[in-house]
Amino acid sequence: MFSIDKLREIEKKKKEWQEGTLKESLKRFKATESPNRFYTPLDIPDFDFLEKVGFPGEYPYTASTYPSMVPGTGPVKGGGPFAVAGLARAGRYSGYATAEDTRDYYKDMIARGWRVGANLAFDLPTQCGYDSDHPMAEGEVGKTGVAINTLQDMETIFEPFIGDLGLDRVATNMNINAPAIIMLSMFITVAEKKGVPLNKLRGTPQNDILKEYTGRGTYIFPPGPALRLSRDSFVYLRKNVPSLNIISISAHFRDGGADSVKSFGYQFSNAIAYAQVAQEGGLDVDDFLPYFTLGTGGCHTMEILHAIAQIRASRRVWAKLTRERLKAKDPKSWIVRTIPGRLLANLTTRQRPLNNFTRTVLGGVAIALSGDVPAVGPGYDEPLGLGTSLEAQQLSEDAARILFHEARLCDVIDPFAGSYYMEALTNQVEEEIWKTIGRIDAVGGAVAAIETGFLQREIAQNAYKIQKEIETGERVIVGVNNSRSPIPMTPKGGSRLKKNR
């Protein structure tokens, strides 16, 4: 991008600046080192725009997955980010208590204007394969999602989805992994009983068992047998339910304490394992990869500029991984098909929950500036319960609308493209993701990394590091370990208003 002579000139000027202007400023404030960095072309001397960024919607997809945000795109009621003819969407992550309670919730939301499908959360007993009356389920039924025990429960939940919200008109997501194949069979049976052709069903089963061993813990079988269930579901869905995604490979490693950059490497290593079992099941790589979705589009850190770089780098890594390693030839296989991006819930706090709204808006800003449509979430009250208050929902949806329509953050795709800092940081993040994938390859791949405990140890070590930084104050979380004293509602000496009177 710059000639060698120009780079030398910039390097000379940089040294003069460091020894002059910068040094004098630090001396004035009795500082020995600047807390800030300033980036120049010296940080990306070999930058090649077409190789590193390219155009939106084209390899390597650094700028954006899609070439434009088409007219009509934008946040919509119910939590989905798109409102475009022909696109079926699932709504906000939801579900609690009994099937009847969740059904009534959907009825209420539809009456309030929802035009999206169910995005089901399941309680922990259901996720672990227990019925609600099992002794192991005591105290957990219906708490983190809806309890499903029978086909009738599934039928009850989908009672409100009729007419223009029928299962052939909206997308349905099911966030469950170990028993995913069972929930899929129930969902398909409900569709058949409603007279919906299977080729009209759209949506996504999470079906991502590998991350359960390291990120959440809701697994039933060892990794090997569990992957056989994944393989069988992939093959069945591609042959019989062709418009349904077959898996959503998530980033729950962050919830377990993983480093925000390394979590992308863990996620992509799991994707490699899933691709291998799909091929073992006889599927062609370009037949199943377009039906993989990944949770890479969210804001994985409160360091917003880093979050932008992570999203950009993850798109580039996935494009290279699928084209060069998995040998996919269809460009549809190279793109990251991700869930609507938002701030990860583990970055919100129970203390001073209203601060979470600020955090989630910043997350939406990062997503917009990374070349995607912003979604703002979770609700500020997420750490206090299920995060379902209508006030929190309204604030989140309106925040996304303000970012899109008023702040107009989506008028330019990837506005940081070519930035010395952002391109250097994106390169750095990409390199770290590849190193993480390489380390997992070295121990035999994702399954071996789980079975040997390699991945669990690495995540646990980082979780300990994060917690230690929080407890020592090295990692500042406002309202948790910093600025905890409330602002006095009345000044000392009484109300100034009264004194002025």
Query: What is the pLDDT averaged over residues 21-34?
Result: 93
Strands, E assignment, 230-379? 247-249, 292-294
Return the pLDDT at 1. Answer: 73
What does the pLDDT look like over 223-272, one tens digit per residue? 999 999 999 999 999 999 999 999 999 888 988 899 999 999 999 999 99
144 or 125: which leads in pLDDT = 125
d(CA 170, CA 194): 14
What is the Cβ-side half-sphere exposure of residue 436, based on CA atoms within 13 angstroms? 25
pLDDT: which is higher, 303 or 78: 303
Cα(91)–Cα(118) distance, integer angstroms: 6
pTM check: above 0.75: yes
Contact 108, 59 (CB under 8 A): no
CB 296 within 8 A of CB 251: yes
For the cut 80, the answer to whether the pLDDT of residue 58 exceeds it is yes
Mean pLDDT rounded to a whole number for the chain: 91
Q: Is the pLDDT of residue 423 over 80?
A: yes
pLDDT at 70 over 70: no
**Local structure of residue 30 (DSSP, 8 states):** T
Percent of the chain clearing pLDDT 90 (strictly above): 78
Strands 90-94 and 247-249: unpaired
Tell me the angle at which helices 304-320 and 355-369 cross, rounded to the nearest 10 degrees. Answer: 40
Identify which of 161, 144, 41 has the alpha carbon closest to the alpha carbon of residue 91. 161
| pLDDT tens per residue across span 450-483 | 999 999 999 999 999 999 999 999 999 999 999 9
Residues 177/218, Cβ–Cβ less than 8 Å? yes
DSSP class per residue in 45-73: TT--HHHHT-STTSTT-SS-SSS---TT-
Annotate 423-462 with b (16+ C-beta within 10 A) or e (fewer).
Answer: bbbbbebbebbbebbebbeeeebbbbbbeeebbeebbeeb
Average the pLDDT over each of 370-379, 403-412, 440-449 and give the range with the smallest value. 370-379
Q: What is the mean pLDDT of residues 9-25?
A: 95
Return the SS3 of 13: helix
Tokens at residue 61, please?
């997809």
DSSP state of 18: I
Q: Could you tell me the end-to-end alpha-carbon distance of the chain, in angstroms, rounded to an integer?
A: 67
What residues form DSSP beta bridges with 174? 120, 205
DSSP conformational letter for 41: G
Give, in order, the Cα–Cα distances in Å from 103 to each of 4, 90, 110, 192, 448: 66, 15, 11, 19, 41
pLDDT band at 492 (very low <50, low <70, confident <90, very high): low
Q: What angle do CA 178, 90, 297 make, to 5 degrees?
A: 75
Q: Are 220 and 178 in contact (CB under 8 A)?
A: yes
- Stretch 65-91: mean pLDDT: 62
Residue 265's nearest CA partner among 452, 49, 442, 43 is: 442
For the ranges 63-77, 329-343, 398-412, 431-445, which has the lowest average pLDDT? 63-77
Tell me the two tokens of residue 455.
């991945």
Identify whether the C-beta of residue 408 lies closer than 8 Å to the C-beta of residue 82. Answer: no
Confidence of residue 501 (pLDDT cuts 50, 70, 90): very low
In the structure, what pLDDT confidence band is assigned to residue 139 with cuts at 50, 70 and 90?
very high
Strand partners, 249: 294
Choice among 46-50, 71-75, 110-114, 239-243 with the minimum mean pLDDT? 71-75
